[in-house]
Amino acid sequence: MVKVNENFAKLPANYLFVDIAKKVDAYQKENPGREILRLGIGDVTRPLVKPVVDAMKKAADEMGYAETFRGYGPEAGYGFLRETIAAHDYQNLDISPDEIFISDGAKSDTSSIGDIFGLDNIVAVCDPVYPVYVDSNVMASRAGDYKEGSGWSKIVYMPCMEENSFLPTFPKTVPDMIYLCFPNNPSGVSIPKEQLQAWVDYANLHGSVILYDAAYEAFIQTPGVPHSIYECQGAKTCAIEFRSFSKTAGFTGVRCAFTVVPKALQFGGTSLNQMWARHQSTKMNGVSYPVQRAAEAVYTEEGQKLVRENLAYYHKNAKIILQGLQHAGFTVYGGVDSPYVWMKVPEGLTSWQFFDELLKRCAVVGTPGSGFGTHGEGYFRLTSFNTTENTEKAVQRIVEQFT
């Protein structure tokens, strides 16, 4: 008889945001008239900018004529997009187009990158952490068993707390696969260059690979904060970088991202660039052509201008949250180089208790820090992705109810 993958049974029944959605749905049913303000899931609200819409429509039109129709594209993405990304995002970093792999999302890539590594590698993650890194390793059998309070037996957790400014420090056990995400989801903090350089040096010293999720790179405002891990010396021999158009250009519903696997990245003589190319050509058929044209349009002059206006809009919202909560006496972090504000929940409440209270008393939805890991307990994530009007309203309600 066929055996199922038993690791699935070890996972919590639902993905974090599915749990939250259910609670919110239940609340809405009980309070049909009440306006719920969602500062929970990290989903954008600003519409696509005009050059992006136009590019997608133009590509859709091309698909309607035999002369310009396109069937299967290259699995790793069209040259026009890979070249544009290399020239724009990696201008002085010497990343070539064939080191860039276009995909339908950073979630797809960060959850599948493990496929090219052995099952006996030791995985390290920050705590708190974006759940996908952990869950995908649970499915692949790298996580061991779950124990309430201490987490997965085989995962090396790197606590990110107030004491270390939410930046991970080298763990006692040397890990093989190190997931880092900066600007960080969920804490919203960015990493100074010298600290990222220290991680690159550490990985090169130990032969570890850094899986660097830079999905929020476009939010960086602080001068000197690295936008790419390849700004660090030696990163090409130890790091894979994930980027996305989701938050940068409002593509959460459009679906486009990319992953950089440098050719210099080799372990035991094996090229990870070649492995990932083989993985992608076996397991997907490239990203929708109109979507790739839409992504290309993000890089036009007009596209850049408008996309930056949207980012400024979210920055303003983050500032409203930060200043409003600070003013009301809350302790808050992040929110400068990132769309996420990481607040300490009021004394005496757990993260989920605060979630329930906030929903009940304010009809505001956030994400409980404990949903991201043990060391997220006592914290709460608010996002700047709602409208300015709703963000102001939400902050006002929180301040009224909790001060």
Please check if 150 is assigned to a binding site: no
Q: Which amino acid is at 314?
A: Y
**Contact of 125 with 184, CB cutoff 8 Å:** no
- CA 261-43-301 angle, to 5 degrees, is 65
Please check if 379 is assigned to a binding site: no
Instruction: Name every residue whose Cβ is closer than 8 Å to that of residue 170 and which is 6 or more positions away in sequence.
Output: 202
Closest to a second copy by CB, 278 or 361:
278
Please check if 65 is assigned to a binding site: no
CB of 17 to a second copy, least distance (A): 9
CB of 400 to a second copy, least distance (A): 27
Name beta bridge partners: 219: none
Closest to a second copy by CB, 151 or 250:
250
Please check if 285 is assigned to a binding site: yes
Please check if 308 is assigned to a binding site: no
- For 307, the token pair is 């996309």
Give the distance, in angstroms, between the CA of residue 378 and the centroid of all CA atoms in the same chain: 21
CB of 318 to a second copy, least distance (A): 18
CB of 301 to a second copy, least distance (A): 18
Closest to a second copy by CB, 245 or 354:
245
Sheet (strand 340-344) strand order:
332-334, 340-344, 379-383, 367-368
CB of 384 to a second copy, least distance (A): 14
Closest to a second copy by CB, 23 or 344:
23
Q: For the chain, what is the radius of gyration of the CA atoms?
A: 21
Please check if 397 is assigned to a binding site: no
Closest to a second copy by CB, 16 or 395:
16
CB of 243 to a second copy, least distance (A): 15
Please check if 72 is assigned to a binding site: yes
Please check if 299 is assigned to a binding site: no
Closest to a second copy by CB, 256 or 332:
256
Phi-psi region of 382 (alpha: psi -120 to 50; beta: other; left: phi over 0): beta
CB of 103 to a second copy, least distance (A): 10
Closest to a second copy by CB, 112 or 190:
112
Question: Cβ–Cβ contacts within 10 Å for residue 375, how many?
Answer: 21
Instruction: Name every residue whose Cβ is closer than 8 Å to that of residue 109 and which is 6 or more positions away in sequence.
Output: 101, 103, 242, 257, 259
Exposure class string for 266-302: b at 16+ Cβ within 10 A, else e = ebeeebbbebbbebbeeeeebbbbbbbbbbbbbbbee
Binding site residue list for pyridoxal 5'-phosphate? 72, 106-107, 130, 185, 216, 244-246, 255, 285
Binding site residue list? 15, 42, 72, 106-107, 130, 185, 216, 244-246, 255, 285, 381
Binding site residue list for substrate? 15, 42, 107, 130, 185, 285, 381
